[in-house]
Amino acid sequence: MNTMTINGQQVQYEQETNVLEVIRRAGIDLPTFCYHSELSVYGACRMCMVDVDKRGALASCHTPPEPGMVIKTNTPELRHMRKISLELLLANHDRECTACSRSGSCKLQELAQRFGIQQIRFGQRDKRTPLDHSSPSIVRDPNKCILCGDCVRMCEEVQGIGVLDFAHRGSKITVSPAFNKQLGDVECVNCGQCAAICPTCALIVKCQTEQAWRAIHDPKTTVVVQIAPAIRVAMGEEFNLPPGQSTLGQIAAALRLMGVDYVFDTSFTADLTVLEETHELVDRLEQQGPLPHFTSCCPAWVKFVEQYYPEFLPNLSSCRSPQQMFGSLAKYRFSQDLGLSPDNMFVISIMPCTAKKFEAQRDEFQPGGRPDVDLVLTTQELAKMIREDGMDFANLEPSSLDMPFGFVTGAGVIFGASGGVSEAVLRHAFMELTGKPPQAQDLAVVRSTEGQRVTDVQLGDTVLRLAVAHGLAEARDLLEKIKAGEEQIDVLEVMACPGGCVGGAGQPISQQRAQAVAKRTSALHREDKALQLHQSAQNPMVKDVYQRWLEKPGSDAAHALLHTHYGSRRRIAGSAMEMGYAPQAPVDVQVCVGTSCYLKGSMQVLKALTDQVSQAGLTDNVRLRGAFCCQQCASGPMVIVGDDVVAGVSPQDIPDLMHRIRQQMDVPASR
């Protein structure tokens, strides 16, 4: 081991990559805004400055450890620097703390109190920027952004999307989506991880608790609530209970005290998903395709495929997510049992995930304009309602769930953790293919804390090549390997959030996020072990639902209620991007610069075409624009010349495009 001196104490270090990690290992809570171990080092907030002997003040997150270093973390100069940094951040920050949803869990607020900031010597920002409510999942408040860059790096590095970035320079610098558009108009997948990592309140979960209260207080409405498996092991954190403590009974009790009519478990429809998806997988294996088989439980992952890899859409399972299966069954079958019209039933989902808000609003899940799931609330929102109601949550007497959707197996419960969907499906597939139940240790290989895992699983005489990924950047890496022929995979499970649903953006905010996610995951696996049944096919209530409503897995009745389809999705909404040529020109030329075409080189096509039009002296005759989506992503780059759509264009095809332009202008080629 190597040794350095920190505040007069000898501290040993091993594999730490920077001084900040060594200091924290020594038990010193050095403050930061922009440092996260899973992201690249940014070093913008300057809160982690330390005094290094003979070197002066350095940012500890940027400084690699060296043997013999002598470091001080709390000199008068450092304290003064931190206070100045905090004052400057607060001067540019909307300080309406009493009306802020992050009040009490805001890192800026916490550090201002910790360092005794009682007066801001600098003026407040002179101009307020409008809030962005366009996303179905996230609200963006630029007035509270402190430019830490956490959201930018999370979206780019962990999710591989990059819808947020820095714009402008100097005092005008901001964080915003491309072309200064709103979040709802760009290729955001609604995962909400930007909000989960934002230290202030510049990005937050869209709060919809008032809609829930209106439904609950309406005497003509029957309110049915489903609770996702990841909620039970995280809700307690909102009320100072340790991460991983299961509070499903208290959640059910709280909902009943609010006035909810029925409380169910989404793990039930996770059991249904297992049976439907296993049937689909076995059929694909027998028919030899389309493979790999992609899970479709995560709506952010589904939208990611629709946007970036539409050629893989046939690989997505047609199974709805457990949330949407539940909504369909509740509205169109359970309501009949109660003698209710679907219009008089209000289905609320309690989810760890902000993308579920987007999923519930998809056209595919609103037959006749009536949504299968009326409202999605996150763990944070339900906790807010419990506090509003004045309940002592930690001391509530637990309550049981209602039947038939309240009886679950361990297979449904582990859906909340990365690898859980695959493990649950493999348990059933093993039984289907071999006629005997699997040993638990044989399938635990799909569990992983790593971003991706690829492994072989033996199911009798069949060997499946299975991949599990969490984080969309990891998913992108696997898809590129599949496209290049570097990986031959039979089944791919993807969850957008780190650790799976347990790490969803709607879960309680935690300063030790990685540790909290790990404890929630372990708790779900413990609950799986504690339950009597571990295979979805053993659930007697599931059997009853098939007998009464669905016939069998894969039947027409099951497909009508439990399956769906997906399609290629436009990348960036809005008008085309003008390139400066004559707007009233006789020939209109559009080059698609949406994400898929952009990745295939459309910007090079646009530049080459711009140069050729200029050199040919046709700038007054051609209206050249960058279009944002031609909705033919698999065939890009796409160029539209007048009414002609040209697919698969490269810079080498510019002469042909110029010929088409001249034909539409009726201009001789000699010009």
Other Cβ atoms within 10 Å of 512 Cβ, number: 10
527 assigned to active site:
no
Q: Indicate which residue of 277, 381, 423, 527 is catalytic.
A: 277
Amino acid at 115: F
Structure tokens given for 371: 């949504």
Give the angle subtended at the CA of 202 by the CAs of 196 and 208, to the nearest 5°. 70
Q: Indicate which residue of 276, 359, 381, 527 is catalytic.
A: 359
> What is the number of residues in the chain?
671
Structure tokens given for 637: 């780059």
| Contact predicate 502/417, CB 8 Å | yes
| Contact predicate 110/90, CB 8 Å | no
Query: 417 phi and psi, to 5 degrees?
Result: -115, 150
Q: Indicate which residue of 317, 510, 536, 602 is catalytic.
A: 317
Long-range contacts at 424-428 (CB < 8 A, ≥ 24 apart): 424/270, 424/274, 424/536, 425/274, 425/277, 425/278, 425/281, 425/491, 426/457, 426/459, 426/464, 426/466, 427/274, 427/534, 427/535, 427/536, 428/274, 428/275, 428/278, 428/535, 428/536, 428/537
For residue 547, give the nearest of 384, 363, 341, 404 by alpha carbon: 404
Alpha-carbon distance 507 to 390, whole Å?
21
359 assigned to active site:
yes
| Contact predicate 491/482, CB 8 Å | no
Q: Indicate which residue of 77, 96, 364, 551 is catalytic.
A: 364
Q: What's the DSSP call for residue 565?
A: -
Alpha-carbon distance 550 to 548, whole Å?
6
501 assigned to active site:
yes
356 assigned to active site:
yes
DSSP per position, 50-87: EEETTTEEEETTTPPP-TT-EEES--HHHHHHHHHHHH
Structure tokens given for 529: 């072990």
Alpha-carbon distance 190 to 211, whole Å?
20
Q: How many angstroms from the chain centroid is the CA of residue 385?
A: 23
Reply yes or no: is the peptide bond before residue 637 cis, omega within 30 of 0. Answer: yes
Upper half-sphere CA count for residue 414 (Cβ side, 13 Å): 32
Q: Indicate which residue of 280, 306, 381, 493 is catalytic.
A: 280
Helix H or strand E encompassing 578: strand 577-578
Largest CA distance in the chain: 87
| Contact predicate 90/33, CB 8 Å | no
Amino acid at 77: E
Structure tokens given for 212: 């829930």
Structure tokens given for 526: 């413990």
Give 3-state DSSP helix, strand, coil % of the chain, rounded to 5.
45, 15, 40
Alpha-carbon distance 531 to 156, whole Å?
39
Q: Indicate which residue of 34, 188, 501, 592 is catalytic.
A: 501
| Contact predicate 29/38, CB 8 Å | no
Which residues touch 176 (CB under 8 Å, ≥6 apart)?
A: 142, 164, 165, 167
Which residues touch 363 (CB under 8 Å, ≥6 apart)?
A: none
Q: Indicate which residue of 145, 151, 297, 298 is catalytic.
A: 297
Q: Which are the catalytic amino acids? A: 277, 280, 297, 317, 356, 359, 364, 501
